[in-house]
Structure 1
Amino acid sequence: MTKTYTAFSGVKNVASGPLDQVVSTIKDQLDSDDWPQVLIFDDATGRQIDVDYHGPINPKAESGEQTEAAQPRRVGRPKLGVVSGEVTLLPRHWEWLKSQPGGASVTLRKLVEDARRGGAQQAKASQEATYHFMTSMAGNFPHYEEALRELYAGNQSAFHQHIEDWAVDVKKYMKELSSTAFTEE
């Protein structure tokens, strides 16, 4: 799955998509428009990233990702994306894992995937992404602290009420980031 990013100039959303596309859009506009400041956010984490606009566009270098050739070779099944690691369990845990269909590795992968899909973890990640973006973009907006409290309290309607008067693009992006932060009311 391709990581996506969103760029803001002031409070206006100016680009969204894969990093190379966002950086290209910004580079094309920097010379022709008078953008006061451009901030780029990782859509998965809400964290701001830094990009060097000088020279060629190289999103892997800018985002800190290593190219496939630069990554060290690891033990496992690389074509399947499997990486080996160490797990320390009690003997009774190993016995239970061995008795499961598919063996220990299959069972552990299923348990991890089930846990990752869990609503609590997804809600927490959504809250954190919203928090990081809010801190960067809306820290001095009216009702910032109240909105933040409602985000962590899980009160969606109060959260949306506190951000109602904020800039349209900022509010829209925050609603996207927080879409899984709240349990059903």
Structure 2
Amino acid sequence: MSTTANHPAWVAFEHHRNIAAGLPAAVITAVQQRLAAEPNAMPVVLDAATSERIELDWRAPLEQLLTLLPAPAPQTAESENADEAPRGPGRPKLGVTAREVTLLPRHWEWLARQPGGASVALRKLVQSAMREGSTADARRRATDAAYRFMSIVGGDLPHYEEISRALFAGELARLRTLVGGWPADVSAHLLALTARIDAAPAGN
């Protein structure tokens, strides 16, 4: 659900119908065209990834609305395995901070038997724990986004409570079955959001 230039994607629903999706400018234009055709329409605009509601005066000029949007976050490239890169002889390792670690003797003995010694083993253990935490966070964010979308757009649809329970229980196959009777646009977007839960790598 990302877009080029690191801009967020938006999605607009009117009742249970998806009327626009894509970059903010395209969604704003579609919403404004809808309001021009039907002044009493009540479109709901969401961040397509987080399902956070976007609240703007949609009748304001497009250029003015675009100035209210936050600037896209700069892209960064960090290598999780940078600490593991081989070094040439005598080359200093940058970014390493020496600190005291207190362990039991058996822990030190186990670390000393690991390839690369205690320091490398400790770094690998920390990186593994960080990855597992990131995985849990990614699944939680995806679950929250799916539930937020459901509550905003599908709260009046059949089996809402049962589908909510299936979502938080991680019973995604059951959820997919239950949303089969929902309007196509709502079920399609919800399933796209829940696919991100499946996509999160399982922790070790």
Of the three residues 20, 28, 35, the one matched with 2:25 is 20
2:186 is aligned with 1:162: no
SS at the partner of 1:48? Answer: coil
Q: Give 1:39's aligned residue.
A: 44
Structure 1: how far apart are the matches of 2:76 and 2:170?
Answer: 38
Q: Which deviates more, 157-166 or 24-33?
A: 24-33
CA shift, 1:146, in A, is 0.7
Structure 1: how far apart are the matches of 2:42 and 2:56?
Answer: 12
The two structures have a TM-score, normalised by structure 2, of 0.63
CA shift, 1:134, in A, is 0.5
Counterpart of 1:125 in structure 2: which amino acid? Answer: R
SS at the partner of 1:49? Answer: coil
Rg bigger for which structure?
Answer: 2
Q: Give 2:8's aligned residue.
A: 3
Q: Give 2:35's aligned residue.
A: 30
Aligned-residue RMSD, C-alpha? 3.5
2:75 is aligned with 1:59: no
Structure 2: how far apart are the matches of 1:134 and 1:35?
Answer: 23
Structure 2: how far apart are the matches of 1:129 and 1:7?
Answer: 15
Q: Identity of aligned pairs, percent?
A: 23
CA shift, 1:35, in A, is 6.3
Q: 1:132 to 1:80 in 2, by over 3 A?
A: closer
Deviations 1:130-150 (A, max 9, x none): 011001111121111110111
Counterpart contact for 1:46–1:177, Cα < 8 Å = no
SS at the partner of 2:13? Answer: strand
Gaps of 5+ in 1: 69-77, 82-88, 94-98, 101-106
The two structures have a TM-score, normalised by structure 1, of 0.68
Counterpart contact for 2:25–2:66, Cα < 8 Å = yes
Structure 2: how far apart are the matches of 1:37 and 1:180?
Answer: 28
Q: Which has the higher strand share?
A: 1
CA shift, 1:90, in A, is 9.5
Structure 2: how far apart are the matches of 1:127 and 1:27?
Answer: 31
CA shift, 1:51, in A, is 1.7
Of the three residues 146, 152, 155, the one matched with 2:162 is 146
Q: 1:79 to 1:44 in 2, by over 3 A?
A: closer
Counterpart contact for 2:34–2:41, Cα < 8 Å = no
Structure 2: how far apart are the matches of 1:44 and 1:138?
Answer: 17
Q: 1:150 to 1:3 in 2, by over 3 A?
A: same
Q: 1:170 to 1:55 in 2, by over 3 A?
A: same
Structure 2: how far apart are the matches of 1:80 and 1:159?
Answer: 35
SS at the partner of 2:156? Answer: coil
Structure 2: how far apart are the matches of 1:46 and 1:161?
Answer: 22
Gaps of 5+ in 2: 1-5, 78-96, 102-118
CA shift, 1:54, in A, is 2.6
CA shift, 1:19, in A, is 1.0
